Structure 1
């Protein structure tokens, strides 16, 4: 009779110790990675949902392998790198290289691309990705929706 009690005690202790271990080895934010995130808001400016808008197809994707960003701004394609911390919600994005075409939505593109390297954190809620800078954790710099 002591064996089952001892055995269950060992299992319980293992579960307790296992739940206290550091999550450094856990892959951070799998839902963030390799997903196409459609841009829906730049700072306080919501983007048009019309397929006739220059902003309609704008997106970002965080790819693994080397940690790379790729995407389409209203006028140009872009790419760079990103770093995820082992701490939840911590993300940094490099300056992005882009092609150099202009379009009527150039001011939105400039704000979008300038906001990316200011990012220090992110939050995913349902199908929405919000990127934040260090100065304001209440109002996101950029808002994206998961593209279906």
Structure 2
């Protein structure tokens, strides 16, 4: 009886340590169908200018599609997750053609997405990495 009780307590302790706010990789259940707001673009905080909006990303669990609003335009494409790993890739993203003061940042953002190869989620932040840089190229925060 004491061995069963000890095993039960160990299992509860392990499960209790897993929370949505500090999820280890991979965490597709929190990744998908969540609106993510861009907070860093190549290590820099995006600077919004007149006519620009916050950039966001949503990955659909049903369609395998990525969509959002970049600084000036709506955009969308496809994504692929490798089951049981942290691998995440994006197709080229199509977008509408409005212009704004953040056009260069938007262009760079849309160029970076197809180069993404993996992700991590920590403390409600999504980090997207390419194959060549050790630091994340894009960082997002979960929208409330």
TM-score normalised per structure 2:
0.77
Match of 2:137 among 133, 137, 141: 141
2:78 is equivalent to residue 95 of structure 1:
no
TM-score normalised per structure 1:
0.75
Unpaired stretches in structure 2, ≥5 consecutive residues:
5-25
Superposition RMSD in Å: 2.1
**How far does residue 64 in structure 1 lie from its aligned partner after superposition?**
1.6
Kindly provide the CA deviation profile for residues 27-76 of structure 1, in whole angstroms up to 9, marking residues without a partner as x.
9611000000001111122124x79672x421000002220001000010
Contact 1:28 1:84 in 2 (8 A): no
In the alignment of these two chains, the number of paired residues is 121
Structure number with the bigger relative contact order (C-alpha 8 A, sep ≥ 6) is 2
Unpaired stretches in structure 1, ≥5 consecutive residues:
1-7, 9-26
**How far does residue 87 in structure 1 lie from its aligned partner after superposition?**
3.2
Provide the C-alpha distance between the structure 1 equivalents of 2:49 and 2:105, rounded to a whole number of angstroms. 16
